[in-house]
Structure 1
Amino acid sequence: MNDTRLILAGAALNQTPMDWDANLFNIKEAITEAKLHKVEILLLPELCITGYGCEDMFLSPWLSEVAFEKLLLIKEWCEGITVCVGLPVFLNGLVYNTACVIKNKEIVGFTAKQFLASDGLHYEPRWFAAWPANVEQQFEMLGQSYRIGDIVYEEQGVKYAFEICEDAWRPNRPAERHMGKGVQLILNPSASHFALSKTDVRHKLVVEASKKYECAYVYANLLGNESGRVIYDGEVLIAQHGKLIKRNELLCFKDVDLEFAEVCFSETPQLTEAIEYLPPIDENKELIAALSLGLFDYMRKSNSRGFVLSLSGGADSSLCAVAVAEMVKRGIKSLGVLGFVAKAKMFSLKDAAFFDTLTEEQAVPELVNRLLTCAYQGTVNSSDNTFTSAKELAASIGAVFYNWTIDEEVKGYTATIEQVLDRPLTWDKDDVTLQNIQARVRAPGIWMLANINQALLLATSNRSEASVGYTTMDGDTAGSISPIAGIDKAFIRQFLIWMQQELGYTGLQYVNNLQPSAELRPGKEEQTDEKDLMPYEVLNQIERLAFYNRFSPQEVYQKLLEQNLAEPEMVQSWVTKFYTLWARNQWKRERFAPSFHLDDYNVDPRSWLRFPILNGGFKEELSKINTSENDGF
């Protein structure tokens, strides 16, 4: 074939389920920007008209009908350009996840997704039907007939086709068949959720596909916290013949992030200069970027006016506080001061005029002061160390800080129950009760502040606590959003040190010198989390082996023994405690505030890991763990 040069582009979009006006505005912005750069083919993300996270609303025929009406509006914006846009199509009682190709204001066809994601966070087979390979047919909509199926398209003599997200992650992916049809360009519109280090896998997938299939490959992902729990990194990749040509900055605060490149198609194509990509990604940098963007989108899309936090001075609440501060810092860096203020949707014109007089460095603590209110709620069991930790951290980032005690409220509830039972409550007999009432009494006051501020209350539970139920319902689990519930405690502890050293949050020096403790028992007992449970590194290993690797309790026990972590009796007690507490506390995990998916797995039953509330408690499985039978380990 003759040399053909095409300017190709992918655009990451920050969409919201069923927010038609905002979604179409972003799509129009992407098309307008692409035209300015004389782009010939623009790829937009999967299901970007409706949003990917519509859940069971996809089963309602009207949703697809509205999406099609919006598609017809988009079509009119596509003069002189080919645009690929995602939407559901309702056909013969089934819903298909499609990418529609619009060329110069004409709909050319709809490619339907062939492989549906059904693992981890994904429930696509609940909503969509898989399209069979090599099948194409016609369908009618609003009096017009359209092609749908496994279609090969053409642009200026260059043949191209699609892999829609999951399609590319399967061994018998569509690209295997497309190459035999002379396809030289693969387009991949995706809604691929963020997880630590996932971008490394995705980069390999795209670049190696472009090499194996001797083609150009364009990938465009969704961006931001789309529907509450899932964050998208907005990755855009353009590769050809095993070389990466373009890659954008991930997890940015923009609504539209477009990358483009001129690509040569010929028998011996002249390749654009490649970008050097050096994995692995720093997971600490990834995590703070995802947390920041996730919090910002959750705040603005819920029309909330900032955050309220019960700042205990411990690791978890300290991380939540710094995440808000970093949200402001990163948002300003990405959007500018006025851009951040406008996008937050909570400030008056007078406020905007004030912030416009500040430098970016001055604006960060001022905005944190408007967006984050913290309170330390001490008891007789609280230490001076945690108070200092909370106070100094809040001051260092500019947050509003309040301090009060809850001893009188605790005494009131305790006295009521003592009168009802006609006996005193004691630590020997009522340990859990006396711990929990302190945590629960903290909730009403902090909720009042959240209501007064019209703000989101941040819950502070982490994944390790969720696994074993080491948390008080209606206490530290109270909140509108639980941003760190997908992160384990061991990671959090090193993450706080990294943020102090690498990001300059000097206020973290106090918490980084403390052992994690609930501080609910009298101080003389020197309560710590790990004394109550087990070493966090061990807890996290058991959790991962059990639910990510899906080993049985006996297999988990044997794998821990092989590491010589402790005597067999101690390992047995750890494994038994973990599974017993896990089985007993599923009802707690069912009630947690919405959490972000940040790692390659989580324990949220409404996203990654379902488990029966009523269950056998692993009694038979744990009975098989007998240290005498494992002396060889």
Structure 2
Amino acid sequence: MRLLKVATCSLNQWAMEFDCNMKNIKESISRAKAAGAAIRLGPELEITGYGCEDHFLERDTITHAWECLKELLVGDWTDGILCSFGMPVMRGAERYNCQVLCLNRKIVMIRPKMWLANGGSCGELRWFTAWKQKEPLLDQFTLPTHVSEALSQNTVPFGHGYIQFLDTAVAAEVCMELFSPVPIHPELALNGVEVFMNASGSSHQVRKMDRRLRTITGATLTRGGVYMYSNHLGCDGGRVFYDGCSCIVVNGDVVAQGLQFSLKDVDLVVAQVDLDKVANLRDSSSSFREQASCKTKVPPVFVPYKLCQSFKLHTSVSSPIKIHYPCPEEEIGMGAACWLWSYLRRSGASGFLLPLSGGVDSSSVAAIVGCMSQLVVKEIANGNEQVKADAIRIGHYIDGQFPTDSKEFAKRIFYTVFMGSENSSADSRRRSGALSEEVGSWHLDVSVDGVVSSLLSLFQTLTGKRLHNKENGGRNVENTALRNIEARTRMAIAFMLASLLPWVHNKPGFYLVLSSTTADEGLCGNLTKYGCSSGDLNPVGSINKLDLRAFLIWAAQNLGYSSLAEIEAARPRAALESIGTNHREQADVGMTDGELSVYGRLRRIFRHGPLSMFKDLCYKWQSTLTPAQIADKVKHFFKYYATNRHKMTVLTPSYLVESYSSEDNRYDQRQFLYNARWPYQFQKIDELVQQLNADGEALATSSEQERVNILPLDRRLSASGVRPTADAFDDAPS
């Protein structure tokens, strides 16, 4: 038996905070050594943090990364253990995202990333060059002078290769390379590589974990191998949350897995594997042997060193484990809660303030903060000294006290404010108060009528006009203006309270204002610019309304906030409608929550313009709607999307979890000034509707068909050369 103990880790790094990052890296190495591991793998770009963005373009960032690496190498950190460190490297005029493989105070090899992640929340092509050199695959890299002198090493192999030890072969495959159409690891396996190290920077998305693990396990299922996967954990300063889940896979079986949602700074995963099992699987496959005989050769870097242990009695080998897959509702709650804690502990703030209306959106945010408080108390009870120290500082505990009850902790760090008006219902006020009591927040009930009345009086003094809502004979422009005035008044009050309430209660610092606009509201623009959609952070900004409602039901059952069930069941009402009016907010924009979810996925994930969306929905909705009705819905959506796109330029930074988030600049890079009539695109839809109707009339017979425009639509679409491109409800690819 060739026994090899390997360690991979998830680290809670912070972009550009080198001291923090080095502390976590060193702790992970110490714990890996203590466990007897021969290999330690860390996440992608762990030295700098993954989310440095345009800081990667600064030479200082590269310089500091080398300084940190030198510190690791001149000490005893790499003695007796192969360590893979992620950092940016300049080679001439080219900047690469690299894994630097080190052993015994020497750099063995530098592996630049060959396929970069681009799109969505990733934009590596903006900062890095992909390594695509063919001849030679491995080149020589001259180390910076200060590193060279410290290590007595001038050059190091740089490029696509693997490390050949005396007893096994090890190689790197960096993040996106595993998920690309043509991965790197099959070629390496045919060259004899048995251990693969994947340093990743994979952000959390709802329902993504299953796709990720299927890809990782599939990498070694038929071709054999030990696959080590490392990922970031927490929020390193941007909008995404990295959900950890570092794991070790042997021949397609997960033998060790780290935490997905955790407040830890370092989560280490260790496994002992038998490399002979890898060799046996490959030897038993005739197709593997045949393909290995005609493989493309990848150059090795020879290292005269043994990684494996010899067989010993009472030595155990890690066995396959059962994977826990959280439901989407649990992912929403836990992921957003960890994201908020990362911001709170690093921002210098003393807590959060939330305008709590008693509706679905703001109540979801309150539940997430409550979930965060529960996680903090639980982590302290489990002995996490870092979380304990942060909680004592943020909650201003004295005399050795620390949080032991989540509601007590929430009372210290969480304000909720019901900002009602003459149009608010008693039920909304009651639900808001009940939820705040369950979560434990410091709750205030404020009327905005006086402030709104003052603004309306000022307007009347200036113009001689008095605004009226619809019920009192007002026009649409008046009704919209009144809503916006109320929303912007609430925003101003929220920021005032967030900055001054800590002072009132003799607390230092400030509070962060939380907003609660959802992905669907952002998509269609059903929000007030610089109104209630504004804030410092938004934990639900890229979550769709359907998932959010499901989360409320889950939270009512699993977090102990029973009032959420009533909030989810309540019918929303527009703020300026009378209390007795039966009205759904979605009627204001003429689109249901379910429809917005479909439009969002087709527009963002499948890259559909108006015409392509119309074609797809003709297949999806043909049993209930005519082509003309579908065309009207598509036009209606794109009109609202284009008209309100400008609002995305000022949207509160939100937790990116839904793949069709419309947040401007960081996630959805499209212009904000449109011709909202879409004259060319809508004309093409109209022409196709006419063609489909004409084809239907030609195919129909009076005895077989009563509704020409619906029953044979699939035949008419095919005759018109239209093909379905995707299921509108499919998840985005990894």
Q: Say whether the fold is shared (TM-score over 0.5).
A: yes
1:287-310 residue CA offsets vs partner (Å, 9 max, x unmatched): 111011011001112121110000
* Alignment of 1:536 onto 2:596: no
Could you list the per-position Cα deviations for residues 374-396 of structure 1 after superposition, in whole angstroms to 9, with x for gaps in the alignment?
A: 11111111111110110110011
Q: Distance in 1 between matches of 2:568 and 2:189?
A: 55
Is residue 2:280 matched to residue 1:268?
yes
Q: Does 1:463 align with 2:530?
A: no
Q: Would you say 1:432 and 2:432 are equivalent positions?
A: no
- Residue in 1 that maps onto 2:369: 324
Q: 1:65 aligns with which of 45, 63, 66?
A: 63
Query: Given that residues 10 and 258 in structure 2 are in contact (C-alpha distance below 8 angstroms), is that contact kept between their aligned partners in structure 1?
Result: no
- Residue 278 and residue 313 in structure 1: after superposition, are their counterparts in 2 closer, same or farther (change >3 A)? closer
Q: Give the alignment partner of residue 136 of structure 1, picking from 114, 136, 139.
A: 139
Identify the residue that residue 702 of structure 2 maps to in structure 1: none
Unaligned runs of 5+ in 2: 149-153, 282-315, 503-509, 694-708, 714-734
Give the match for residue 80 of structure 2: 80
Moved more, 285-294 or 512-521: 512-521
Q: CA deviation at 1:240?
A: 1.4
State the SS of the aligned residue for 1:101. strand
| Equivalent residues in 2 for 1:355-504, closer than 5 Å | 355=402, 360=404, 363-427=405-469, 428-429=474-475, 430-452=478-500, 453=502, 454-504=510-560
Q: C-alpha separation between the residues in 2 aligned to 1:355 and 1:152?
A: 49
What residue is the counterpart of 1:8 in the other structure?
6
In the TM superposition, what is the alpha-carbon distance from 1:513 to its structure 2 partner?
2.9
Quick check: 1:250 aligned with 2:260? yes
Choose the corresponding residue for 1:333, options 370, 378, 385: 378
Mean CA deviation greater in 236-245 or 175-184: 175-184
TM-score of the two chains, using structure 2 as the length reference: 0.82
Work out the CA distance in 1 between the residues paired with 2:412 and 2:348.
15
Q: Does 1:546 align with 2:588?
A: no
Q: How many pairs are equivalent?
A: 625
- The Cα shift of 1:156 comes to 4.5
3-state SS of 2:88 partner: strand
Counterpart of 1:434 in structure 2: which amino acid?
L
CA distance in 2, matches of 1:78, 1:226: 25
Structure 1 unmatched runs, 5+: none
The structure 2 residue matched to 1:582, chosen from 618, 641, 647, is: 641
- Tell me the distance in 2 between the aligned counterparts of 1:568 and 1:184: 56
1:284 aligned residue: 329
* Residue 398 of structure 2 is aligned to residue 351 of structure 1: yes
> In structure 1, how many angstroms separate the alpha carbons of the residues matched to 2:627 and 2:12?
51
Question: CA offsets, 1:315-371, max 9 Å, x none?
Answer: 111011110010111222234387433134634774362336xxx4xx111101111
How has the CA–CA distance of structure 1 residues 94 and 344 changed in structure 2, closer, same or farther, with 3 Å as cutoff? farther
Q: Name the aligned partner's letter for residue 107 of structure 1.
A: I
Change (3 A) 1:349 1:398: closer
What whole-Å deviation, never above 9, does each CA across 1:405-432 have from its counterpart, x for those lacking one?
1111111111222222222223332111
Cα shift at 1:522: 3.5
1:616 alignment partner in structure 2: 675
Separation in structure 2 between the aligned mates of residue 513 and residue 555 of structure 1, nearest angstrom: 35
1:397 aligned partner, one-letter code: V
Q: Deviations over 1:245-280 (max 9, x none)?
A: 11122121100000111111223389742123366x
AA in 2 matched with 1:317? S
Query: What CA distance in whole angstroms lies between the structure 2 residues aligned with 1:515 and 1:433?
Result: 24
CA contact 1:136–1:151 (8 Å) conserved in 2: no
The residue type equivalent to 2:495 in the other structure is W
Work out the CA distance in 2 between the residues paired with 1:354 and 1:317. 31
Q: Equivalents in 2 of 1:518, 1:537: separation in Å?
A: 19
What aligned pairs does 1:226-241 form with structure 2 within 5 A after superposition?
Answer: 226-241=236-251
Q: CA deviation at 1:545?
A: 1.5
Q: Aligned letter for 1:385?
A: D
Q: CA deviation at 1:525?
A: 4.3
Q: 1:145 & 1:78 partners in 2: Cα distance?
A: 18
Which residue of structure 2 aligns with residue 115 of structure 1? 115
CA contact (8 A) 1:314 1:517 kept: no
TM-score (norm 1): 0.94
Q: Which segment drifts farther, 310-319 or 451-460?
A: 451-460
Percent of aligned pairs with the same residue?
A: 28
Instruction: Give the SS at the match of 1:346.
Output: helix
The residue type equivalent to 1:578 in the other structure is F
What residue number does 2:507 align with?
none
Q: Which runs of 4+ in 1 moved over 6 A?
A: none
Summarize deviations over 1:207-252 as a string: whole Å, max 9, x none.
1111233211100001011122011111111111122111122121
Radius of gyration: which is bigger?
A: 2
Q: Give the whole-Å Cα distance in 1 for the aligned partners of 2:350 and 2:168.
A: 50
Q: CA RMSD in A?
A: 2.0
Cα distance in 2, alignment partners of residues 320 and 495 from structure 1: 11
Aligned partners of 2:480 and 2:161: how far apart in 1? Answer: 63
Verify the 8 A CA contact 2:522 2:662 in the aligned structure 1: yes
Give the 3-state SS of the residue equivalent to 2:51 in structure 1.
coil
Q: How does 1:171-186 map to 2 (within 5 A)?
A: 171-186=181-196
Change (3 A) 1:43 1:508: same
Distance 1:148 1:41 in 2: 20
Match of 2:178 in 1: 168
Q: What amino acid is the match of 1:311?
A: L
2:161 match: secondary structure? coil
Task: State the shift of 1:161 in Å.
Answer: 0.5
In structure 2, C-alpha distance between the alignment counterparts of 1:518 and 1:157, rounded to whole Å = 70
Distance of 1:11 and 1:82 partners within structure 2: 14
